[in-house]
Amino acid sequence: MARIPYPDPDTLSDEAREMLGRLPAKIRIFDMISHADTCLKPIMKLGGAILGKTKLDPLLRELCLLHAVKLEGGMYEYVQHVPVTLDLGGTQEQIDAIAAGNDAAGCFSDLEKAALMLTREVVVDVRASEATLEAARAHLTEREIVELIIMAGYYITLARVTETLGVEEDLPIGGAVVDNVKEWVVKTQK
């Protein structure tokens, strides 16, 4: 049960109601974030950009996203993104390895291991080591590295909102996210 009540939709600004109406389904985290009315649109636009406009490979993004929120303790986003990961070609073995905190498991490619280690260090230590950054640079462009760091920060922020405020988990809408995100990103960029 949420630790603070969700806002009354009738008290939201027109912009907040419009942004919430653009989602492919009702998503409680954004309902809760709408308390911070002026932050809702920028947060949703950043999420849309992360999911639909980055150069980072979508499956790699999802593996690192799961790793970041699992390390952070954010079950809401973890539950939402497991189906997305599977829809994008991730395996149950990879999901199980992330759940166990094994980012060096044999089910990951060298690229995935480097990106997962970078994610781990960014989340746990804030600053990745030189060795980890160099390992990531062997596989990723500078743009992709920055996108990965921004993605991790975004999702651990969401995890802190959901965990601190007790946002109830929604049923996963993974397929809807994968199928609709690019169309949604175009709409939210207006």
Domain with 76 in it: what CATH number? 1.20.1290.10
Residue-averaged pLDDT of the chain: 92
CA distances from 58 to 14, 63, 149, 170 (A): 32, 9, 14, 22
The pLDDT tens digits of the residues spanning 117-175 come to 999 999 999 999 999 999 999 999 999 999 999 999 999 999 999 999 999 998 888 66
Q: Is residue 53 part of a domain?
A: no
59 pLDDT above the threshold of 90 = yes
Question: Is the model's pLDDT at 33 over the cut of 70?
Answer: yes
Structural domain for 154, as ranges: 59-184
When divided into structural domains, the chain yields a total of 1
Which pTM was predicted? 0.91
Burial of 169 (0-12, 13-18, 19+ CB in 10 A): middle
Contact between residue 32 and residue 41 where contact means Cβ atoms under 8 Å apart:
no
